């Protein structure tokens, strides 16, 4: 049995690739990642189209800082305010984490609006991306819900009274309003249950929904591709440029193929 001995570099490569191959063989994840990274996007996309991933980054910042805050925050009216003071004044870099969470929320909301604006101006919500627009609107509403429920948590005057007003606003809705208001309040006047209820909604329910919706959103982005800027001369969807592809080969793609098929 004369097997050739592997060279050193072949050996090295095999050792490095072993875990990757192991993972790929059992999950297909490596192929998936490769598809994600090397999939083609239109050649003319521009900076406005980074707003979506910027929003994603802001959400990730919120999730990470939120987890850290949750380690110190106490959702009960007797200690919530003190725990916020403790985080801000005593915990190492607590002020930074809280500040990032606080201002990250505003940045997240602004970015969502800007991203939505670019999608609107690009007409990127049109066929076949209608569903992704709808998911986007749900994300926007959930994001605002995060803002509303998070605002109460410091349990200071601003927080408390803004929430009283907010709940009363819900209370003005016909029929269901008072029930909704009572649900948010946890049965009675704003009290201990209100706080823990808002806390649960703020750190479990809505973030879970947002994460799931973002997953769907990105799945559709990858599946359908992103649109070219509408003003672009070489926008994807307009067909071959002067009947020839950039590398000079005549194309048989798209329009011509479709025409023949009809």
Partner 1 sequence: MPSDRIVERRRVFQQYKADVKERGKPFYPFAMFHDTVMSLVVVAVITGLAIVWKYSTPGDHIGTDPGWLGKLYDDPADPGTINFVPRPDWYFYFLFYLLRIFKWPNSVIIGTIGLPTVLLVLLLLVPFIDIRSERRLLRRPVAIVASVLVVVSMGVLTYKGATAKESLGSELVAKVPGWAKAANFTANKQAVGGAHLFAVSGCLNCHTYQGTGGGFAGAPNLTAEGAKNKGVQFQIDHLKCPACVNPGSPMPSFAGLGEANLKKLASFLEASKGTK
The footprint of partner 1 on residues 107-166 (CB under 8 A) is: 107, 109, 111, 117, 120-130, 133-134, 137, 140-141, 144, 147-148, 151, 154-162, 164-166
> 18 is in the binding site of which of partner 1, ligand HEM, none (Cβ under 5 to 8 A by kind)?
none
User: Three-state SS for 250?
Assistant: strand
User: Three-state SS for 160?
Assistant: helix
CA distance readout (Å), 81 to 24, 154, 156, 178 = 49, 6, 6, 28
Q: Distance between CA atoms of 61 and 228, rounded to whole angstroms? A: 29
> 72 is in the binding site of which of ligand HEM, partner 1, none (Cβ under 5 to 8 A by kind)?
none
Distance in Å, CB of 54 to ligand HEM, minimum? 8
- Is position 62 an interface residue for ligand HEM (rule: CB under 6 A)? no
CB atoms inside a 10 Å sphere around CB 97: 21
28/123 with CB nearer partner 1: 123
Indicate the helix (H) or strand (E) that contains 246: none
Indicate the helix (H) or strand (E) that contains 242: none
22/189 with CB nearer partner 1: 189
Name the residue with tokens 């808002």: 198
* Binding track, positions 31-50, relative to ligand HEM; x by CB under 6 A: ------------------x-
Binding positions for ligand HEM, 211-230, rule CB under 6 A: 214, 217, 221, 226-227
- Is position 105 an interface residue for ligand HEM (rule: CB under 6 A)? no
Q: Distance between CA atoms of 240 and 255, rounded to whole angstroms? A: 8
C-beta of residue 39 within 8 angstroms of C-beta of residue 223 = no
Binding positions for ligand HEM, 175-214, rule CB under 6 A: 214
Q: Distance between CA atoms of 211 and 213, rounded to whole angstroms? A: 5
- How many of the chain's residues bind partner 1 (CB under 8 A)? 107
21/130 with CB nearer partner 1: 130
> 214 is in the binding site of which of ligand HEM, partner 1, none (Cβ under 5 to 8 A by kind)?
ligand HEM
């Amino acid at each position: 049995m004369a097997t050739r001995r592997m060279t050193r570099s072949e050996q090295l490569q095999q050792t490095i690739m072993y875990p990757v191959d192991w993972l790929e063989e059992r999950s297909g994840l490596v192929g998936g990642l490769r598809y994600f990274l090397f999939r083609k996007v239109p050649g003319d996309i521009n900076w406005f189209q980074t707003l979506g991933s910027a929003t994603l980054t802001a959400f990730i910042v919120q999730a990470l800082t939120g987890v850290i805050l949750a380690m110190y925050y106490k959702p009960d009216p007797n200690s919530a305010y003190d725990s916020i003071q403790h985080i801000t004044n005593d915990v190492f870099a607590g002020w930074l984490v809280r500040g990032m969470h606080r201002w990250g929320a505003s940045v997240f909301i602004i970015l969502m609006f800007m991203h939505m604006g670019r999608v609107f101006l690009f007409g990127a919500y049109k066929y076949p991306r209608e569903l992704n627009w709808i998911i986007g609107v749900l994300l926007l509403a959930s994001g605002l819900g995060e803002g509303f429920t998070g605002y109460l948590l410091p349990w200071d005057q601003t927080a408390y009274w803004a929430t009283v007003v907010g709940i009363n606003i819900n209370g003005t809705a016909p029929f269901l309003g008072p029930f909704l208001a009572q649900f948010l309040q946890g049965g009675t006047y704003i009290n201990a249950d209100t706080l823990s209820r808002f806390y649960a909604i703020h750190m479990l329910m809505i973030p879970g929904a947002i994460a799931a919706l973002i997953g769907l959103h990105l799945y559709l982005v990858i599946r359908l591709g992103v649109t070219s800027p509408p003003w672009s001369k070489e926008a994807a969807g307009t067909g071959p440029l002067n009947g020839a592809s950039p590398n000079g080969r005549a194309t048989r793609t798209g329009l011509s193929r479709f025409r023949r098929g009809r």
